[in-house]
Structure 1
Amino acid sequence: MTLAEMMILARRREKRDEFDFVSLDIFKKYNLCLNYTYVMEYCKLLEPKVKGKNHYASLNKLNSKVLSIHGNDYKSDFDDVEVLIQVLRDSEFAIKLRRLRDQTFAHADKTESDNIFNIAVLDDSDLETALTHFFKLREIFQRCGNIYHVEYFIASIDDDSTENFIKNASKVMQDYNY
């Protein structure tokens, strides 16, 4: 859902009232929060194997847990999923997001201008890559769930409620000269 919201906010706006509306500070703040959430959760999913109780959201931990329960029945899927995870983790995009997490978001209180809202957010190219990674991550979840004959429910990225809000609220603001 976070990715979908970021993509909605990044859409090219042909109507001036919509452009002005999504350019308001509240949407800049919302977009920054979305970017923060996306970066942190993406990085958490791709954390490497770590023993202990940490990293519960790690896909490696999920994959290993399914293997520990199902053994040889899951071994070929386990190996495939490990490769899929490693390919994502080694991608330029993942490296960029880890850098954003470690050097920017983790130290957002130390921005040069003392304005946290000046942090650069993901651009259009990054969002396209994020969408590609979304489908790869969904495939990993599905592979881990196949042995249980279930599908992971992953929220749709087709929700248009925010887009409708932007269109309707921007029109109202224009009509009432806000």
Structure 2
Amino acid sequence: MNKDLFRELYAAHSKAIYSYLFGRTNHKELAADLLQDSFLKIWNRIEIVAKIPPEERLYWIFSIASNGLKDHYRRSAHRNKVGLQLKAASAGDGASAEDLSGVLAGRERLRDIETHINGLPEELRCILLMKVLGELSSAQIGIVLNQPPGTIRYKIAQARRLLAEKLKLLESAPIGVRRTSNE
């Protein structure tokens, strides 16, 4: 019974929890480690989980993950800062003077997108990743972050707009100027 409940919880909620942790940490491996720690705590308290109404379990799991994240930062704030600085320094390694193949150009574009997502303010990045990677609704994100769903929808739109601006996806020709196929 407990193994089945645990498997059900992991299958149903691990993606959402991971996206929350990734949004808060901006580090894939750290988010994966914190996800593992969270579900280990859940496994150790599976009898408690069984008593929680099914519609409230996700939010209980989010509280476990959130507390684990806070504990992690309390224990290793300095180590994380140094790690992020090293990661940022290594991300600056370079562009070649040679023409890049289509595959390399695609990889570079993905890195560019990731860099711009990482450059979003933490709150917007977290909400966007919870929505996109975690596939949570604005109401679910609102409950987790203690904000109204309308505010969450606004912040998702704001994050998408900032990302589109950074990626220069919103550029358009001046009003009255038409582009022709000859240009």
- What's the TM-score, normalizing by structure 2? 0.26
Larger Rg: 2
Larger RCO: 1 or 2 (CA < 8 Å, sep 6+): 1
